[in-house]
Structure 1
């Protein structure tokens, strides 16, 4: 009897033949196994893809990493640029409103209404006449906005740190007022030369200058550099109260709006937050216009009528004698519309810019946590 390491032919036929016969007898079993395997593979793939999508959703819902550190030098520089955009673009856009306002302040009898004023200017000079003063407005209020918003962010943080978080929250309105006054003091120094050119261009029926830099050159040549700053004191008198009201009332109004809405500020979308910014800014702008209007009239009159070497007090007395108390309110209606729209758009643009940079919007901050 011989012995072999390999199975014989009969053995192989018995094993594989049985399997073959089973398959041939029940072919549906192979199909069923194949379907089950395919279903398992597809389920695994779908599960893997679903897990990936879930991870993406979780990552998107997480707060984005702050690329620029808050209250750093880069942060204040970004806020400065945001203020430049907010003020420069909006003031330039409302140049036609500003033009008629200034001319009516200089001579209340010039136009019976704003609409009549625009009509007369357009028929005489076309669209270019309606936009008289746009260039110094763009340069001046871009510089002013950059200084105002950038320095406001800096002074607000500095003054808050100086008094501590609890007192800063308790006396937050005082912090807003102090920070905005400090910022506007510096911003008006940047604005004043351009404001002098703008008012002289708009206050005359025929502009004496070809443009912004021609105006700066002519005023400096005739009156020295001091001529560009002779309206600085009334500008401070107009702009500092205006900005104090603008920033403090805006922060307060925005906080009140969020306090009356369900949830917290962070629960609302970017569009909703900028909508709140526009609403708060528009309401704040109405208050700003009323508070600063008499000084605004004086700035317009002073740049147009101040004689060379005339003392500041003398020219103010002369102007008040000519127009009286009622004259200090000439053009208030159009200024309310102009300043309300301006302030609303400025805060909306500024906060939209802050969102784009990854910063929190202005106003509506939560109180500091109590120490346990």
Structure 2
């Protein structure tokens, strides 16, 4: 997501703010798909037969508003999460280019930078993800964020809010590596856009494809992360948990919730890139106009 080589990078604050705006825009549009994805991932009994079946059952049995249950946590999370994603990707990109003594980003460096940015991002999102999962679970007895946080701290202390840190890190490492790596490669294949509309279409395409590839790579890690954070004692560490799910439920179980997840993060990845790029273009105009 760094600015083109011929332009001076903008200060960190602009990357952070643009990422925050992009993240909140994406979550407002796509959140119901995240609820459906989580329900399918936590379903080890085959209650839901697919994305539409899950959607129908949630609306019929719990009401339409249930599709927005727990949205406060993601809204509060999205600003620091997406801001950290894009800002960390930009800063790590500068770091790696300096370390490897290259002036422009290469494909391997784009993947490495994305993966490192993902690990950085995961440190910010773990508590919010944990609260969100506990609220989205069908069996939840909590009515809001405050109740969840109070319960976790009472039972496990402040460190309890970081349950699932390792699995969350792997989820973000794989998604960011695929997302940013694809965007770098795809942008190099497109001709230079002639106008703002063409630039937006290219960003939307690159972001959507990048989001889809990232989702394909990280869905198994997301499945076990959801189960670890839901409180199951069966799942503790990421890679052993992948083996348990595959052995007990079949390899396909590692892709539970894939359809709503890819429907969200494919187009969602496009929304993120378009909004982020538009914000950065605006901020560049403001900054250079000073």
Alignment TM-score, normalising by the size of structure 1? 0.69
Q: Which residue of 2 aligns with 1:158?
A: 95
Distance in 2 of aligned mates of 1:346 and 1:175: 21
Q: Which residue of 2 aligns with 1:24?
A: none
Larger Cα Rg: Structure 1 or Structure 2?
1
Q: Which residue of 1 aligns with 2:288?
A: none
Q: Output one character per residue of 1:297-351: Cα deviation in whole Å (capped at 9) or x when no partner.
A: 111121224239x853797265454323221122222222211011010001100
Q: Aligned-pair distance for 1:358?
A: 2.3
Q: Does the CA-based 8 Å contact 1:140-1:192 persist in structure 2?
A: no
Q: Does the CA-based 8 Å contact 2:40-2:48 persist in structure 1?
A: yes
The correspondence for 1:179, drawn from 113, 137, 147, is 113
- Structure 1 unmatched ranges of 5 or more: 1-68, 259-263, 360-372
Moved more, 84-93 or 312-321: 312-321
Asked if 1:229 is matched to 2:159, the reply is no
Q: Aligned-pair distance for 1:111?
A: 2.0
Distance in 1 of aligned mates of 2:88 and 2:48: 39
Q: Which residue of 2 aligns with 1:125?
A: 62
User: What pairs with 1:22-101 in structure 2 (closer than 5 Å)?
Assistant: 70-71=8-9, 75-101=11-37
C-alpha distance 112-206 of structure 1, shift in aligned 2 (>3 A): same
Asked if 1:251 is matched to 2:184, the reply is yes
Q: Output one character per residue of 1:123-157: Cα deviation in whole Å (capped at 9) or x when no partner.
A: 33333211112111112232211111111111112
* Structure having greater relative contact order (Cα 8 Å, sep ≥ 6): 2
SS at match of 1:244: helix
- Structure 2 unmatched ranges of 5 or more: 1-6, 286-290
Q: Does the CA-based 8 Å contact 1:270-1:355 persist in structure 2?
A: no
Q: Aligned-pair distance for 1:88?
A: 2.8
C-alpha distance 315-202 of structure 1, shift in aligned 2 (>3 A): farther
Distance in 2 of aligned mates of 1:182 and 1:124: 41
C-alpha distance 121-218 of structure 1, shift in aligned 2 (>3 A): same
Moved more, 296-305 or 340-349: 296-305
Q: Structure 1: which 4+ aligned runs deviate by more than 3 Å? A: 69-72, 310-315, 317-322
Q: Does the CA-based 8 Å contact 2:110-2:177 persist in structure 1?
A: yes
SS at match of 1:238: helix
Q: Output one character per residue of 1:139-190: Cα deviation in whole Å (capped at 9) or x when no partner.
A: 2232211111111111112222333345x45xx1122122222222121111
Asked if 1:344 is matched to 2:267, the reply is no
The correspondence for 2:127, drawn from 171, 193, 207, is 193
Paired positions, count: 277
SS at match of 2:198: helix
Please give the root-mean-square deviation of Cα atoms over the aligned residues, in Å: 2.3
Distance in 2 of aligned mates of 1:182 and 1:130: 32
Distance in 1 of aligned mates of 2:100 and 2:111: 14
Q: Output one character per residue of 1:76-102: Cα deviation in whole Å (capped at 9) or x when no partner.
A: 111111111112331242221111111
Alignment TM-score, normalising by the size of structure 2? 0.87
Q: Does the CA-based 8 Å contact 2:167-2:237 persist in structure 1?
A: no
Q: Output one character per residue of 1:243-285: Cα deviation in whole Å (capped at 9) or x when no partner.
A: 0110111111112112xxxxx34xx222321221111011111
Distance in 2 of aligned mates of 1:227 and 1:158: 33
The correspondence for 1:104, drawn from 40, 63, 75, is 40
SS at match of 1:94: helix
Q: Does the CA-based 8 Å contact 1:152-1:180 persist in structure 2?
A: yes
SS at match of 2:182: helix
